[in-house]
Structure 1
Amino acid sequence: MARTLVADHYQNTSVSEPAEDNQNTSVSEPAEDIHIDQPNNHAMDFEEILKAMKSKTAAIWETGLQRSVEFCKHHNIKTKTLVTDRHVQIKKWVRENMEDTTHAFDVWHVAKGMKKKLFALSKEKDCSDVSPWTKSMVNHLYWTAASSPNLNEDLVLAKWQSISNRILNVHDGHSTLFPSCQHDELEGRERHKRWLKPGSKVYEKLQDIINSKQMTKDIPMLSSGQQTSELEGFHSVDNHFASKMIGFSFHGMLSRQWLAAMHFNENSNRDHAYTQDGKARYRIVYAKYKKGEHTNM
């Protein structure tokens, strides 16, 4: 195991997420755990762990988090908020060992899991009507988190469950905490999707997803601010220095992690690019996994 501090800036928020467990090497198979400092957007610490030390991937993730937390404590760094994916073992460890830290879930990971379930449902017989609603439900999930900055868990859950009425063209009478929708009356192209019918097969199956035990537990923990998007950016940089297609020794992987961290910290807060006319410049990418959707870069 190796440890390094790669940033000297810190506020009070940490974003952590286990790296992919297939970041393998031919000899030692190290995995990593990275902490991103927000809003400075710097990688503070990463942990290199020999996979041979832990037989299960979940154990590697938990060990990496433990070591990073100890690293922060050693440097008198207090973690006010910890944003992770919704791994059960990590959730349990944070609950038992970080009582003074608010643990929140990254919205993108929750939305990703829900999209998979909605896509699978749309392939079932008589359930294709859910397909046009997939993007709207993902947007509703993001809005649920973003519009609830104080982490009022009951209100967050009430907002999310209101989608059960909205897809039926019912926009009031949702619940005591969230009685009605906040949007204006829908007109024209805003109503181009077909409303679902109560009692139909697709609606009942959709209800099972919306009100599932997992979603009921995870929705109130959604982060309204900090997300793990910067960490995903670091993983992209990491792949340039340590490709998953090539095996490295432990020290070979470690040196590449150092380079990736320094490169990320040096360039993470660069000024936005502008055209000669003074307009912000963007690059639109249509990634294959987006299935026709685009990403602004």
Structure 2
Amino acid sequence: MENILHKGVHLSGDGRNDSPGFSAKYCTYSLMDDSTNLVVHYELVQVSVYRSVNSLLEKGIEIEVMTTDRSPSIRKIMRVDYPQIHHEFDIWHVVKGIPEKHCQFATKKQNIDLQPWIKSICNHLWYACASCSGDPEKWKSLLRHMQRRKRWLLKESPAFHTLSSLVLHPNLLKDMRQMAAFKHTVLLKYCRKNLHFHYSSMTARTQLAVMDHNENANHQQATTSSARYNVVFPKQKKEWLARKIYEPTTQTFREELLQKVQERRSDPTVLFKDPTSHVSLPVLPRNIATKPKPGKEAVIAKHVSRFTK
């Protein structure tokens, strides 16, 4: 934390819910320093509770750029509460939605010619966001590239019109000027999504995940006489790919943590029955409902009335 107490820090944020689907109870939101790849702050909140980045600002950290997904609620928070912070969008979240949108249209008979180009379109979006410095013209040049040869899409074809509507979508072109990339993987090692944990357990597991990530944030690719790769066939990509093999991760933070626990346990000045020596937990709502729970009879009557009308 001390290393980022300088002017104009750039942070990338990403959130992860504790369970798949719409039944999530907790959300873990992490902020990473772009210059060091270290997680500098996290918030573990119940999904019905809102917290802000005030805790970082109160520590004297001046945030110049914040990179998040394109969530409308986050946009509003950044626009209303933190207008002094430049807000950018994570490319990964945008590119992730492109195949879904294109596949939705490409499955139609008149757009079948669009199907082979979905991967190339995603690659071009990555390239455009990384090199255009907010200028959407390089992204729009995709439409010109698709017309250069007869085996590509014809300008008069329905597939090309569909592609044009997606490439030239006003919201996407507007957000291109705020595109900036972030992953949330180590947390799965400590907090599996198919298991429910109490808030105190979620807090401890998230802290372990942060320490694990920070210790191995910049570990290098393994080498012998040359850089090492592994050839894999992901079911989602449906083709053979080369992936880097990295040096094994280290876990020295565990030994350091255990040593500090033993030192604290041996400290006679620490009274374990004293509440001040315990981790303070926030007061959370009993559930994530946004409305008071009605009486059981009223809910049953409403349910029955739907089928008696």
TM-score (norm 1): 0.74
Q: Deviations over 1:246-277 (max 9, x none)?
A: 111110111111111111111112233211x2
Conserved 8 A contact 2:18-2:27: yes
Structure 1 residue 48 corresponds to structure 2 residue 27: no
Runs (4+) of structure 1 exceeding 4 A deviation are none
Structure 1 residue 165 corresponds to structure 2 residue 144: yes
Conserved 8 A contact 2:16-2:27: yes
Q: Give 2:31's aligned residue.
A: 35
Instruction: Specify the SS of the correspondent of 2:33.
Output: strand
Conserved 8 A contact 2:229-2:242: no
Q: How far apart are 1:238 and its partner, in Å?
A: 0.7
CA distance in 2, matches of 1:39, 1:285: 30
Greater shift in the superposed pair: 92-101 or 111-120: 92-101
Q: Give 2:161's aligned residue.
A: 204
Q: Give 2:233's aligned residue.
A: 286
CA distance in 1, matches of 2:94, 2:172: 9
Conserved 8 A contact 2:64-2:86: yes
Who wins on radius of gyration, i.e. which is larger?
2
Note the 1:1-297 alignment, pairs <5 A: 7-10=1-4, 12-20=9-17, 22=19, 29-51=25-47, 54=48, 63-64=50-51, 66=52, 69-149=53-133, 151=134, 156-169=135-148, 194-223=151-180, 227-228=181-182, 232=183, 235-275=184-224, 277=225, 279-292=226-239, 294=241, 296-297=243-244
Conserved 8 A contact 1:29-1:250: no
- Structure 1 residues 21 and 220: CA distance shift in structure 2, 3 A: farther
Gaps of 5+ in 1: 1-6, 55-59, 170-190
Q: Deviations over 1:168-206 (max 9, x none)?
A: 11xxxxxxxxxxxxxxxxxxxxx7x82211221111111
Conserved 8 A contact 2:231-2:240: no
Q: How far apart are 1:48 and its partner, in Å?
A: 1.1
Conserved 8 A contact 2:68-2:88: yes
Q: How far apart are 1:285 and its partner, in Å?
A: 3.6
CA distance in 1, matches of 2:158, 2:139: 21
Q: How far apart are 1:293 and its partner, in Å?
A: 5.6
RMSD of aligned residue pairs (Cα, Å): 2.3
Instruction: Specify the SS of the correspondent of 1:126.
Output: helix
Paired residue type of 1:166: H
Gaps of 5+ in 2: 245-309
CA distance in 2, matches of 1:78, 1:293: 44
Identical counterparts, % of pairs: 28
Q: Give 1:179's aligned residue.
A: none
Conserved 8 A contact 1:84-1:104: yes
- Structure 1 residues 241 and 265: CA distance shift in structure 2, 3 A: same
Conserved 8 A contact 2:10-2:65: yes
CA distance in 1, matches of 2:17, 2:236: 17
CA distance in 1, matches of 2:78, 2:36: 23
Q: How far apart are 1:295 and its partner, in Å?
A: 5.8
Q: Give 1:4's aligned residue.
A: none
Number of paired residues?
240
- Structure 1 residues 85 and 121: CA distance shift in structure 2, 3 A: same
Conserved 8 A contact 2:132-2:138: no
- Structure 1 residues 264 and 81: CA distance shift in structure 2, 3 A: same
